[in-house]
Structure 1
Amino acid sequence: MEMSQLLHVFYIIAIVAEGMTAALAAGRRNMDWVGVYLLGCITALGGGSVRDVLLGRHPLTWVEHPSYLLITGGAALATIAIARYMHHLRRLFLFLDAIGLVVFTVIGCTIAMTMNMPVIIVIASGMITGCVGGVLRDILCADVPLLFRAELYATASIVTGVLYVLGEWLALPHDGVIIAAMLVGLALRLLALRFGWGMPKFVYTKDLH
């Protein structure tokens, strides 16, 4: 299977997993089925949509491929039927979420590179694609975004993007660069989950008055 095809398979797996985890967040907020469907779509496709808007890239991914709305929303609705069993699959979904993070990052970087964007924009595009969907989900659920409180989430995305861009700049074999960047980013995210690694936190409790 060619790398582009493999990335597409991983992308489908990732948006399904994101749609399902979003459904669980919707359930914790007692949303109706429409809310579950919409939150699933926003979580899975929101990062790519924000990236495309910021880069001026049209049509948006889900407009170009409307089937993605059916896939993500359908996955979210399907979660309602199997929600009672989802806690048994927690580790699997954390793993799939980590795969989604690095896959979305590489895809975001690739799109920005094809538009001849500066390096910092390429890396930011990868991070936006990988992380912003989850931020939108948490905002809609009135939670502090996972991006700002989890173990090395954005950091894993940035590392993946930097390695991918560096490999392309050095003209290393394209498929090898993608695999290496994704493996390093995936390993960093999974190790952070396993050992609770995180960035230093800023704690300020003094009252200004």
Structure 2
Amino acid sequence: MHTLYLIAITAEAMSGALVGMRRGMDRFGLCLVGAVTALGGGTVRDVLLGHYPLSWISHSNYVFITIGAALLAAAIAPWLRYLQKLFLAIDALGLIAFTIIGCNVGLELGVSAPVIVLAGAITGVCGGMLRDLLCNEIPLVLRQDLYASIALAAGALYLLLQHCGVTPDTASLIVLASGFSIRMLAIRLRWQFKVFSAADTDTGTGGAH
């Protein structure tokens, strides 16, 4: 799981840097957005749960890994478009891996089951939310994509499997495989929630005079 976590934060930092490049940021901005994308979810989770020290403070190499990944993305940007599908796959794996890690933190702290599931989902999605906010975009999880809902379902499944006596390692593998598969199917088959527009709020009554 630790190796998968390192791969995930590297990929998330590079994806965050790519979004920053599209918004015209300099290298400092790319490093900031990349680090926030990769480490933001775990930071929000730890602050909400009072879990200290923060992961990137106790393991400062995570910061250097994300900064290096962001700078690498800037250096090889012209070629990254050919790796888009790979990034989507790594992002899907990262989403589920982060969710499991967040659930484990909740389990260690002994919080209630709903909070454990929320801790997993927050770890999985909040980094991307912070990235989008810094880049002045509507966060992906607030749009039509099946993203946060998959993280919530993965966290709930992970907790249920352990409640049924499945070992943590086996539960992790099951959740990784099923969560990754569902996320990739959602991308391929364009499974989406309904998106509301201004027309949906129009009552048709017109203005009052």
Question: Shared topology, TM-score over 0.5?
Answer: yes
Alpha-carbon distance in structure 1 between the residues aligned to 2:91 and 2:40:
15
Does the 8 A contact of 1:151 with 1:189 survive in 2? no
Residues 33-56 of structure 1: per-residue CA shift (max 9 Å, x gap): 111111110000000000000000
Deviations along 1:72-125, one digit per CA (max 9) or x if unpaired, are 011001111100001100000000000000000000000001101101000000
Q: CA deviation at 1:203?
A: 3.2
Residue ranges of structure 1 left out of the alignment (5+ in a row): 1-6
How many residue pairs match? The answer is: 203
**Partner amino acid for 1:51?**
R
1:141 to 135, 139, 149: 135
Greater Cα shift, 167-176 or 18-27: 167-176
Which residue matches 1:3?
Answer: none
What RMSD over aligned residues (CA atoms) do the two structures have, in Å? 1.2
Q: Any gaps of 5 or more consecutive residues in structure 2?
A: none
Alpha-carbon distance between aligned partners in 2 of 1:148 and 1:163, rounded to the nearest angstrom: 23
Whole-Å Cα distance in 1 between the matches of residues 112 and 92 of structure 2? 26
The 8 Å contact of residues 144 and 194 in structure 2, kept in 1 or not, is answered as no
Q: Please, which moves more after superposition, 149-158 or 14-23?
A: 149-158
Aligned to 2:73: 79
CA–CA separation in structure 2 for the residues paired with 1:202 and 1:122: 30
Larger Rg: 2
For residue 59 of structure 2, what is the aligned residue in structure 1? 65
Letter in 2 for 1:149: R
CA distances 1:136-160 after superposition (whole Å, capped 9, x unpaired): 0000000010111242101111111
Give the TM-score normalised by the residue count of structure 2.
Answer: 0.94
TM-score, normalised on structure 1?
Answer: 0.94
- The 4+ residue runs of structure 1 with deviation greater than 4 A are none
CA–CA distance in structure 2, aligned partners of residues 48 and 140 of structure 1? 17
Corresponding position of 2:10: 16
